[in-house]
Amino acid sequence: MGYRIGIVGAGFIGRKRAETARAHADCDVSMVYDTDGEAARVLAADCGATAAESWQEIAAGPVDIVVVATTHDALASISAACLEGGKHVLCEKPMGRHPQEARRALRASCEADRMLKVGYNHRYHPAVQQVYEACVSGQLGPLMNIRGRYGHGGRPGYDREWRAIPDRAGGGELLDQGAHLIDLAKWVLDDFAEVSGYVETHFWDMEPLEDNAYGIFRTVSGQIASLHVSWTQWKNLFSFEVHGRDGYAIAEGLGGSYGPEQARIGRRRPEGGAPEEKILPFTGEDVSWALEWKDFLAGIEGRGIPYALGGEALETLEWVYRLYEAARKRRAVDVSFVPSS
* Contact string 97-126 vs ligand NAD (x = CB under 6 A): ----------------------x-x-----
Q: Which residues pair with 243 in a beta bridge?
A: 145, 248
Q: Pick out residues in 25-64 that bind ligand NAD (CB under 6 A).
A: 33-36, 39, 55
In the complex with ligand NAD, the residue whose CB is nearer, 168 or 267, is 168
Q: Using CB under 6 A as the criterion, what x/- string covers residues 293-312 for binding ligand NAD?
A: --------------------
Phi and psi at residue 178, to the nearest 5°:
-60, -35
Q: What are 235-239's contacts with CB under 8 Å, separation 24+? A: 235/153, 236/151, 236/152, 236/153, 237/149, 237/150, 237/151, 237/152, 238/149, 238/150, 239/147, 239/148, 239/149, 239/150
Out of 5, 7, 10, 225, the residue judged to bind ligand NAD by CB under 6 A: 10
Closest CB 23 distance from ligand NAD, rounded Å: 17
Residues, the chain:
341
Query: Using CB under 6 A as the criterion, what x/- string covers residues 157-186 for binding ligand NAD?
Result: -----x-------------x----------
Q: If binding means CB under 6 A, how many residues of this protein chain bind ligand NAD?
A: 25
Quote the distance between the C-alpha of residue 260 and its chain's center: 20
C-alpha 337/C-alpha 194 separation (Å) is: 9
Question: Looking at beta carbons only, is 55 or 307 nearer to ligand NAD?
Answer: 55
Minimum Å distance from CB 316 to ligand NAD?
A: 13
Shortest CA distance to 209 belongs to which of 183, 174, 157? 174
In this chain, which stretch among 9-17, 105-113, 127-135, 311-319 interacts with ligand NAD, using CB under 6 A?
9-17
The Cα 264–Cα 254 span in angstroms is: 14
Interacting residues toward ligand NAD by CB under 6 A: 8-14, 33-36, 39, 55, 69-72, 74-75, 92-93, 119, 121, 162, 176
